[in-house]
């Protein structure tokens, strides 16, 4: 059994589609496909899963496309599921030295923040990048930055504008060409022209339109801790931290007392004031949702592996989720799902499809 024989066997195994854990599969210009049976998935259960989800989407396992339904190649707005892209580019900015630290105060980039809310001790001068990337800036409400969680789209618009216009030097018309595509979408080979201007430059700029199959590429990047086909696109430290750092389960939700915002402050979506949308349930990690535990030890998605994480918009109908322990990535849009109970039940069905 000499070296020539071993080399020949390696070639045969690779040709047959088998790879070692140290040699993960990534899509090229298009996805490699594999049958559900060959991927260790139950085809009937996948069909039942997609029937429950509805809309359109796809399932990837081991870096290969296993199953899809509807038009999984059509880009569409993903609503709040776009937010992990923001934290990705923040981590990249820190890694590349554009931002010195997650704990840098953003008043450096927007001095007017330091003049807001005199009656509250000019609290907004204390907002850091970390606060913005964890929805704890308490921008728009009276709570002090870092003291509470307040999921709101006004602070997300502030975050987007500071990061992409002040740090990356782009504007609404150039961010795709200057930042989003060359630093991410093109690197991971997106096929369907995703954009950060889902509705154009004058309507909620920063919202991402992406196809389910391209969204799965982003999920696969994070399944492999920032690595893509031999290249470390984002440092393993940052990619891992992004999806494993939930807010403390006992961190309170902010109150509903309004505070002053910057003149002309736009929103990424919701127009509610205050826009204090939801609790974090010990499951919010740098704009990703993870299968964490609340104060009573309850998982966000019961029956789903604890390492699961994802991006979700409008409460469930737009999503991408990753289950690293099962090498699964799934994305859907225009789905029927609404709320964590339905999302969790759907993900549990997907997990069941992977069982022997």
Three-state SS sequence of the chain: CCHHHHHHHHHHHHHCCCCCCCCCCCCCCCCCECCCCCCCCCHHHHHHHHHHHCCEEEEEECCEEEEEECCCCCCEECHHHHHHHHHHHHHHHHHCCCCCCCCCEHHHCCHHHHHCCHHHCCHHHHCEHHHHCCCCCCCCECCCCCCCECCCHHHHHHHHHHHHHHHCCCCCCCHHHHHHHHHHHCCCCCCCCCECCCCCCCCCCCCCEECHHHHHHHHHHHHCCCEECCEECCCHHHHHHHCCCCCCCCCCECCCCECCCCCCCCCCCCCCCCCCCCCCCCCEECCEEECCECCCCCECCCCCCCCCEEEEECCCCEEEEEEHHHCEEEEEECCCCCCHHHHHHHHHHHHHHCCC
Give the whole-angstrom CA distance, residue 284 versus residue 244.
9
Q: Establish if 151 belongs to a structural domain.
A: yes
Q: Establish if 299 belongs to a structural domain.
A: yes
Q: Establish if 208 belongs to a structural domain.
A: yes
Give the whole-angstrom CA distance, residue 53 versus residue 62.
22
Q: Is the pTM here over 0.75, yes or no?
A: yes
pLDDT score for 6: 39
Give the whole-angstrom CA distance, residue 39 versus residue 334.
26
Give the whole-angstrom CA distance, residue 54 versus residue 43.
16
Q: Establish if 4 belongs to a structural domain.
A: no
Residues 239-271: tens digit of each pLDDT: 999 999 999 999 999 999 999 999 999 999 999
Q: Establish if 5 belongs to a structural domain.
A: no
Q: Establish if 212 belongs to a structural domain.
A: yes
pLDDT score for 205: 98
Stretches in the chain below the pLDDT threshold 70: 1-22
Q: Establish if 88 belongs to a structural domain.
A: yes
pLDDT score for 22: 56
Residues 103-128: tens digit of each pLDDT: 999 999 999 999 999 999 999 999 99
Structural domains in the chain (count): 1
Q: Establish if 242 belongs to a structural domain.
A: yes
Residues of the domain holding 255: 27-353
Q: What is the CATH number of the domain that holds 44?
A: 3.40.710.10
* Size (the chain), residues: 356
CA angle 263-267-268, nearest 5°?
150
């Amino acid at each position: 059994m000499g070296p020539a024989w071993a080399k020949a066997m390696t070639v045969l195994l690779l040709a047959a589609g088998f790879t070692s854990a140290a040699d993960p599969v990534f899509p090229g210009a298009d996805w490699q496909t594999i049958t559900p049976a060959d991927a260790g998935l139950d085809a009937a259960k996948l069909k039942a899963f997609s029937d429950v989800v509805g809309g359109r989407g796809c399932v990837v396992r081991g870096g290969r496309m296993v199953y899809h339904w509807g038009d999984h190649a059509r880009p569409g707005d993903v609503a709040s599921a776009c937010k992990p892209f923001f934290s990705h580019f923040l981590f990249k900015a820190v890694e590349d030295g554009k931002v010195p630290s997650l704990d840098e105060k953003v008043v450096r980039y927007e001095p007017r923040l330091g003049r807001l809310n005199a009656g509250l001790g000019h609290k907004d001068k204390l907002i850091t990048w970390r606060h913005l990337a964890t929805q704890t800036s308490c921008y728009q409400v009276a709570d002090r930055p870092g003291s509470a969680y307040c999921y709101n789209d006004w602070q997300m618009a502030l975050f987007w504008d500071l990061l992409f216009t002040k740090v990356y030097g782009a504007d609404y018309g150039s961010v795709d060409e200057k930042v989003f595509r060359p630093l991410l979408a093109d690197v991971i080979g997106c096929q369907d022209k995703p954009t950060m201007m889902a509705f154009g430059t004058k309507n909620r700029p920063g919202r991402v339109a992406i196809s389910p199959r391209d969204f799965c590429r982003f999920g696969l990047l994070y399944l492999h801790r920032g690595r893509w086909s031999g290249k470390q696109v984002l440092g393993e430290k940052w990619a891992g931290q992004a999806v494993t750092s939930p807010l403390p389960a006992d961190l309170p939700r902010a109150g509903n007392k309004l505070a002053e915002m910057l003149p002309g402050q736009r929103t990424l979506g919701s127009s509610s004031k205050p826009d204090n949308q939801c609790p974090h349930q010990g499951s919010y990690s740098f704009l990703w949702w993870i299968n964490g535990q609340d104060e009573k030890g309850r998982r966000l998605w019961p029956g789903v592996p604890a390492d699961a994480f994802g991006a979700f918009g409008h409460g469930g109908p737009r999503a991408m989720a990753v289950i690293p322990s099962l090498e699964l990535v799934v994305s859907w849009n225009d789905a029927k799902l609404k709320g964590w109970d339905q999302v969790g039940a759907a993900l549990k069905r997907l997990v069941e499809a992977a069982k022997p």
